[in-house]
Amino acid sequence: MKELALMKGNEAIAEAAIRAGVDGYFGYPITPQSEVMEYLMLQKPEERTGMVVLQAESEVASINMVYGAAGTGKKVMTSSSSPGISLMQEGISYIAGAELPCLIVNVVRGGPGLGTIQPSQADYFQSVKGGGHGDYKLIVLAPASVQEMADFVDLGFELAFKYRNPTLILSDGLIGQMMEKVELPPQKERTTEFDQSWTTTGKTPDRERNIITSLNLDPDLQYEHNLKLQEKYRSMEEDVKFEKFECDDAEFLLVAYGSSARICQKVVDIARSRGKKIGLLRPITLFPFPTAELAKMARRVKTMMAVEMSAGQMVEDVRLAVNGKVPVHHFGTLGGRIHSPEDVLQAVEEKFIGGF
């Protein structure tokens, strides 16, 4: 039987974490994601599954608690919002360099600096291009509903362990705070078997000691390590995920993720009712990015427009994907404002005069 609930996106993340059999959550309060840890604490997950939840002294500490625990092969996660995620970048770089699986949730708010507590999508670059120092990538999932906030916890860990790489759920204050119906996933058991080839669970006589590190003082070794990482990032392409709405006969393509994709679905509905041949491609993984699919779409549509709550970040990846085949416009809003379907429609009309 389906288990349905009406929840905030942040609560759905927390409930899904308990149900995914997560071993540990380490966090620090920040608006608009504080409900994640509040919900966890209220639920007494130590009684439900034995999951450890700890409020750290800072985001710097919480990501490093994740780093230590992830090295032991346990399922561990943290969540925060933009300024807190900025503080975590050092730890994320280490975790990526040391090739550890973990889940990080960013419920994005407007920046730069302390910015605002309202939703934004201006952390795209930070999420998909690295964020911290060095050549590394995160697996980035972009939920567009409360249901996906719940579903992507398990998916995020599945991908994290498949590639031994951190996964980031790139949400925003809108999805984190809004309430929707959500079908809760079934309760999973916590893992009791750990891959002895790399986890720091104590050196037994039958194996060499395991060392979790991102350090190679020998540049040739670090070069080889980087090549291996790049090869791994390329191989992630097989897990690229996207969704298409009304794309079959579309002459004009909107490209949007997360909250903006929800808004663009409405835009497509309205434009279609007016006889406009418009479609939407929603990247679900922002890294790996649906580059090949966009290149394919570029042969079929006349124009594209990236819609995002930023000054224009994902649009750069869309342009790289279509490689000049069709014009790629951008429509965005900034600093915590949410665009309405009418705002986007107006931009569509302006950019596509003659295009329809």
Partner 1 sequence: MDIKEIIREENKVYSRTPLMVDTTLSYCPGCGHGTIHRLIMEVVEEMGIQSDTIGVAPVGCAVIAYDFMDVDFTQAAHGRAPALATGIKRLWPEKYVFTYQGDGDLAAIGTAETIHACNRGENISIFFVNNGIYGMTGGQMAPTTLDGMKSSTSPYGRNSETMGPPYKITEMVAQLPGTYYVARHSVHKPGSVRKAKKAIRQAFENQKLNKGVSLIEFVSNCNSGWKMTPNDANKWMEENMFSFYPMGDIKVEGKLVESKK
Residues that bind partner 1 (CB under 8 A): 23-24, 26, 52, 54, 56-58, 60-62, 64-72, 74, 76, 90-91, 94, 98, 199-205, 209-215, 217
Smaller CB separation from partner 1, 2 or 209: 209
Residue nearer to partner 1 on the CB measure, 28 or 352: 28
- Smallest distance, partner 1 to C-beta of residue 132, A: 10
Are residues 190 and 157 in contact, defined by beta-carbon separation less than 8 angstroms? no
Q: How far is the CB of 133 from partner 1 (least distance, A)?
A: 11
Q: Which is nearer to partner 1, 31 or 72 (CB)?
A: 72
Least separation in angstroms between residue 135's CB and partner 1 is 18
The upper half-sphere exposure of residue 9, i.e. CA atoms within 13 Å in the direction of its Cβ, equals: 28
> Which residues does 202 contact at the CB level (< 8 Å), separation at least 6?
none
Q: Which residue has the tokens 């980031």?
A: 168
Phi, psi of 282, rounded to the nearest 5 degrees: -110, 105
Closest CA to 5 of 24, 19, 22: 19
By beta-carbon proximity to partner 1, the closer residue of 100 and 108 is 100
DSSP-assigned states of every residue in 141-195: E---SHHHHHHHHHHHHHHHHHHT-EEEEEEEHHHHH-EEEEEPPPPPPPP----
Phi/psi zone of residue 119: left (φ > 0), alpha (ψ -120 to 50 degrees), beta? beta
Q: Considering the complex, state which of residue 57 and residue 231 has its C-beta at the smaller distance from partner 1.
A: 57
H or E element: which one contains 41? helix 35-43
Alpha carbon of 99 to those of 163, 196, 211, 219, 245: distances in Å? 8, 15, 11, 18, 36
Evaluated on CA atoms 107, 111, 113, 118, the torsion sign reads negative
Q: Is 72 or 222 the residue whose CB approaches partner 1 more closely?
A: 72
**Least distance to partner 1, CB of residue 75, Å:** 10
Q: Which is nearer to partner 1, 58 or 187 (CB)?
A: 58
Strands (E), 24-160: 24-27, 52-55, 76-80, 102-108, 139-141
* Residue placing its CB nearer to partner 1 in the complex, 89 or 291: 89
Q: Report the nearest approach of partner 1 to the CB of residue 64 (Å).
A: 4
Residue 69 or 347 having the CB closest to partner 1: 69
For residue 328, the Cα-to-chain-centroid distance in whole angstroms is 23
Could you tell me if 167 and 104 are in contact, meaning their C-beta atoms sit under 8 angstroms apart? yes
Q: Given the complex with partner 1, which of 116 and 201 has the nearer CB atom?
A: 201
Q: How many CA atoms lie within 13 A of 307 on its CB side?
A: 33
C-beta of 66: minimal distance to partner 1 in Å? 6
Q: CB of residue 30 vs partner 1: minimum separation in angstroms?
A: 17
Instruction: Check: CB of residue 36 under 8 Å from CB of residue 10.
Output: yes
We find the least distance from the C-beta atom of residue 216 to partner 1, in angstroms, to be 10
Q: At closest approach, how far in Å is the CB of 209 from partner 1?
A: 5
Q: How far is the CB of 80 from partner 1 (least distance, A)?
A: 15
How many CB atoms are closer than 10 A to CB 189?
A: 7
What distance in Å separates the CA atoms of residue 110 and residue 161, rounded to the nearest whole number?
31
Residue with the two structure tokens 């124009």:
303
